[in-house]
Amino acid sequence: MRHLITGFEPAAMQDLASLFPKSTPTMLKVDREHQTLQQIEQSGIVDQGLLEQELEAWIANSPEAFFRELGERLFLIGKQVYVGELGSDRVDLLALDPDGSLVVIELKRGDHKLQLLQAVAYAGMVSDWDTERILSQIRQFTGKSAEDVQGEIETFVDLESIEELNHNQRIVLIADEFDYEVLVGAKWLREKHDVEVRCFKSSLAQDGEGLYLVCTCVYPPQGITLHAKPRSRQGRSAQSRAASWEQACEVIANAEIREVFMTEAISGVEKRFGRRPSLFYRMRGKRRYTIGGRQKGGYIWQTGRFEGDAEFWTAKMGAEAMPQPVKRGTCLRMFVRTRAQFDGFLSGIEELQRLDPFWIEAGDEAEPEDDDSDQGDGLDSSEEGSDGI
């Protein structure tokens, strides 16, 4: 027996059903000339004769607008993503949130009681994805170079290191209607097992030739969504994109490193910002070093390797920089916490420019950078193509 949350629930379901909206909020058109309101007709995806693939395409082509409608800030990393070992399991949409969690998004025309089960299975399948697989998926989806993808993700996520990606998984369900079993399952997962699941009822409003997509959160209740801190946030609040380089640098609580970021930018070093600042240093035109601003200081990423690089940087910056191979040994990551360490880094960059060591590249990271793909929010395009030193 199936139950939909529609407005007439059996008595045993009243406690749970009382949490969910009884109907889709009405959309009213304002006629200012006659000072009247007119209700706009609304219907489901099924009623309009649309396919899931059409909704999926709308979202994939306009992800930021759609995610804002959901009250989310997500980075879309793929659609129809193969996640199963046998190659037959595909997530409708896969995204990252600012905490580095993978977000499984499943779309359904009408309603389907297995929608949640399917999404949970997919979340389990991606739970063991490491950073390299995630970055590879983004490169495949966007067609961008490894350097550009890494820079965008470092700017987007609020993590000390992108090696911390996918510490958690979340689920977003979108459908015309939801079975009672889906919603009670979502409530159980969230409250008993700390799995964040959000359910959105989708509907279309039509006004003449215009067609409007509306998504209403039916679980968790809007009051919880607006006033409670999501468990997966781990105490961090969501931040909006910075309006300027100076504002982006405010996330660096370390005053010494914040001052360095400001002076380096003034001196003409290539930079980019989103919620946080990043500096880039090139060698022979290739971006070799990215320094991302973090609360405690800077996170340095070296693309490619040269012989003895870890020992070289330990000598320049000290053991506290903790140079460590990452991405299966094809790159190097370090930390900078003091002005003296940063001075050691700059000294090392100057020495490497003179030495011009042989670089060991890794896969598509050896490809020339596509400068056009750097055009976007927060990029100082006037510095594009400079040597960054």
CA separation, residue 103 to residues 84, 92, 231, 261 (Å): 16, 11, 14, 32
Residue at 1 is within a domain: no
Domain range for 74: 11-129+166-233
Residue 175 lies in a domain: yes
Tell me, what DSSP letter sits at residue 242? P
Q: Which residue reads 């990551």 in tokens? A: 333
Domain shared by 190 and 313, yes or no: no
The share of the chain scoring above pLDDT 70, in percent, equals 77
- Number of structural domains (the chain) is 2
For the segment 344-361, the average pLDDT, to the nearest whole number, is 94
Same domain? For 272 and 223 the reply is: no
Q: Is 319 found in the same domain as 182?
A: no
Nearest CA among 291, 315, 289 for reference residue 304: 289
Listed range (77-91, 93-107, 255-269) with the worst mean pLDDT: 77-91
Q: Give the integer Cα–Cα distance in Å for 72 and 66.
A: 9
Last residue of a domain, which of 180, 200, 233? 233
Alpha helices in the chain (DSSP H): 14-17, 52-61, 63-69, 115-126, 131-142, 146-156, 180-193, 222-227, 245-249, 255-266, 309-317, 339-355
| CB neighbourhood size of 363 (10 A) | 12
Instruction: Name the pLDDT band for 3 (thresholds 50, 70, 90).
Output: very low
- For residue 159, tell me if it sits in a domain: no
pLDDT band for position 138 (cuts 50, 70, 90):
very high
CB contact at 8 A, 77 and 94 = yes
pLDDT tier for residue 129 given thresholds of 50, 70 and 90: very high
Same domain, 361 and 313: yes
Task: Indicate whether 323 and 373 sit together in one domain.
Answer: yes
- Highest mean pLDDT among 114-128, 210-224, 375-389 belongs to 114-128
What are residue 236's phi and psi, to 5 degrees? -95, 140
Q: Taking the alpha carbons of 263, 147, 275, 159 in that order, is the dihedral positive or negative? A: negative
* CA gap 171, 310 in Å, rounded: 39
Q: What is the mean pLDDT of residues 139-160?
A: 86
Overall pTM > 0.85: no
Higher pLDDT, residue 213 or 48: 213
Contact 75, 156 (CB under 8 A): yes
Q: Are residues 101 and 191 in the same domain?
A: yes
Q: Please give the full DSSP string across 182-240, using - where no structure is assigned.
A: HHHHHHHHHHHH---EEEEEEEEEEETTEEEEEEEEEES-HHHHHHSPPGGGTTPPP-P
Considering only CA atoms, give the Rg of the chain: 24
What amino acid occupies position 308?
Answer: G
| Residue 228 pLDDT > 90 | no
Same domain for 220 and 305? no
Tokens of 113: 């009681």
User: How many whole angstroms separate alpha carbon 93 and alpha carbon 100?
Assistant: 16
In this structure, the chain runs to a length of: 389
Q: Average the pLDDT over 52-73 and give the result.
A: 89
pLDDT in tens, 9-56: 444 344 444 454 445 556 777 888 888 887 777 666 656 667 778 888
Domain boundary among 233, 257, 272: 233
Domain shared by 356 and 229, yes or no: no
Do both 266 and 201 map to the same domain? Answer: no
Q: Is 2 a member of any domain?
A: no
CA 4, CA 179: separation in Å to the nearest integer? 4
Task: Give the domain-ending residue among 212, 233, 254.
Answer: 233
Would residue 15 count as lying in a domain? yes
Asked whether residue 220 falls in the same domain as residue 249, the answer is: no
Is 143 a domain residue? no
* 340 and 204 within one domain: no
Residue 367, pLDDT above cutoff 60: no
| Relative orientation angle of helices 131-142 and 146-156, to the nearest 10 degrees | 110
Domain match, 190 and 263 both: no
The distance in angstroms from the start CA to the end CA of the chain is 68
* Span 239-258, pLDDT tens digits: 457 789 999 999 899 999 99
Is residue 134 one of the residues assigned to a domain?
Answer: no
CATH code of the domain containing 55: 3.40.1350.10
What's the rounded Cα separation, in Å, for the pair 180 and 3?
Answer: 5
- Determine, yes or no, domain membership for 110: yes
* pLDDT value of position 236: 41
